[in-house]
């Protein structure tokens, strides 16, 4: 899908100086915010940005400080699911 947006020229010039240019900067920003909000998964970030691997995707998200809130309840649920799956 192609989307056109208007960016002030001075900001466009700043973004154009980044690796990949304006289009890449905007695409990355959209992917980061969609991931942070829980709208898309890491796999979808990888697909959207055409990253080569899960590890490259995780590295990208870490650099962007795009983290989900992970509570103790989440951890306990994950541990319970692992134990159930492994038969322990």
Residue ranges of alpha helices (H) inside 1-88 are: 9-16, 21-36, 42-49, 54-63, 72-86
For residue range 16-71, list pLDDT tens digits in order.
888 788 899 999 999 999 999 889 999 999 999 999 999 999 999 999 999 877 77
Query: Token pair for residue 47?
Result: 């697909």
Higher pLDDT, 19 or 7: 7
Q: What is the pLDDT of residue 58?
A: 93
């Amino acid at each position: 899908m192609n989307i056109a947006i208007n960016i002030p020229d001075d900001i466009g010039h700043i973004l154009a100086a980044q690796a990949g240019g304006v289009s890449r900067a905007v695409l990355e920003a959209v992917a980061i915010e969609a991931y942070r909000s829980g709208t898309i998964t890491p796999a979808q970030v990888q697909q959207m940005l055409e990253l080569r691997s899960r590890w490259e995707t995780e590295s990208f998200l870490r650099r962007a400080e795009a983290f989900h809130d992970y509570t103790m309840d989440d951890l306990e649920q994950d541990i319970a699911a692992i134990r159930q799956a492994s038969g322990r």
